[in-house]
Amino acid sequence: MSTTALNHRIRLGSRPHGEPTGSDFLHDAVAVPSPGPGQVLLRTRYISLDPYVRGRMSDAKSYAAPMEVGDVVVGGTVSEVVESGAEEFTAGEIVLSYGGWQEYSLEPAERLRRLDPDAAPVTTALGVLGMPGFTAYAGLLAIGKPQPGETVAVAAATGPVGSAVGQIAKLQGARTVGIAGGERKIAHLRELGFDEALDHRAPDLPGRLEQAAPDGIDVYFENVGGPVWDAVLPQLNEFARVPVCGLAANYNATSLPEGPDRSGQLMGAVLSKSLTLRGFIQREFVSSMFSDFLRDMTQWVASGEVTYTEDITEGLDNAPDAFVGMLRGDNFGKAIIKVS
């Protein structure tokens, strides 16, 4: 690799207060490093934009260590091997990596997964055949456990996790209710085969949800929280299961919501209906379920039983704006940056 080559990066400039702004990100360029023994130098082709990254920008205690101010913004990547100090990889191969928001990354070989561009578009490793798809698969099947004839509801239902949840639930014989924002997304839910599609921006979501699920909800896959959860809770059946994957409505919150404390109402419903609310991070299921996921999801995608949508933005410099838009729900499908 030429010693004059530069690695353009986007780093965390400051911890956001509320919605991230341009000043929370730093753009710079440094010399491209050379790999040592066991390391691989990668050129980033695609970057995954995911809601969990907003949590990593905060120093609040969570399931993963926060980024430090000055760190390259984290994220999954599809990359090309440029130079290898490890026997397992050679220049030109395409790998799934975790290089973050930068043009080049230096990573240990054991963290990489080789991709076959002839088997599926490589971007699917960031979406339906990657972490979001696995999150849907593991959370729904291991925690939600939908049975034929049951009703499964999911919010953010056109996103990479929610859309996979709905389609997998249909394959299990369940009836599906998708909740999303805007007419375009509602139309897409019908294209995906959801039995009911509700716009959370329209008035009277609780009433419309009750009509869409007249027999109640047996599994609710939680991606959002906020007013959608408020509408769902009264509709949960006895013994309903709630895999809690994300709470996107709260990610930019700077204070607790106004109004009465409703924790008593929640705990009362948990007790009286014997509800199961189970938070999870997909990594806990990797050892037991990931190989099954790759087998099943690869087959479903190849057969057309599961389809996916990608929202690809061109250019590394556009990552901050695309990321903020994704947190607002502006994206249509899996949000990805194509690095120019």
Q: Are residues 93 and 229 in the same domain?
A: no
- Phi, psi (deg, nearest 5) at residue 199: -95, 115
Tokens coding 162: 């929610």
CA distance 141 to 322: 31
pLDDT digits (tens, 9 = 90+) for 174-232: 999 999 999 999 999 999 999 999 999 999 999 999 999 999 999 999 998 889 999 99
CATH number at residue 209: 3.40.50.720
Number of folded domains in the chain? 2
* ∠ Cα 62 67 73 (to 5°): 125
Q: Is 1 part of a structural domain of the chain?
A: no
In 3D space, the residue among 77, 66, 68, 70 whose CA is nearest the CA of residue 104 turns out to be 77
CA distance 334 to 312: 8
Q: Is 44 part of a structural domain of the chain?
A: yes
Q: How many other C-beta atoms are found inside a 10 Å radius of the C-beta of residue 288?
A: 10
CA distance 239 to 151: 12
For range 255-280, the mean pLDDT: 87
Range with the lowest mean pLDDT among 38-42, 61-65, 287-291? 61-65
* ∠ Cα 270 274 278 (to 5°): 65
Concatenating the DSSP letter of every residue in 275-305 gives: -EEEE--GGGGHHHHHHHHHHHHHHHHHHTS
Q: Is 293 part of a structural domain of the chain?
A: no
Asked whether the whole model's pTM tops 0.85, one would answer yes
Q: Is 303 part of a structural domain of the chain?
A: no
Query: How long a stretch of residues is the chain?
Result: 340
Query: Does residue 78 surpass a pLDDT of 70?
Result: yes
Q: Are residues 122 and 179 in the same domain?
A: no
pLDDT digits (tens, 9 = 90+) for 95-129: 999 999 999 999 999 999 999 999 899 999 999 99
Q: Are residues 186 and 253 in the same domain?
A: yes
For residue 105, the enclosing domain spans 6-127+309-338
Tokens coding 29: 């360029």
Q: Are residues 137 and 277 in the same domain?
A: yes
Type and span of the H or E element at 131: helix 131-138
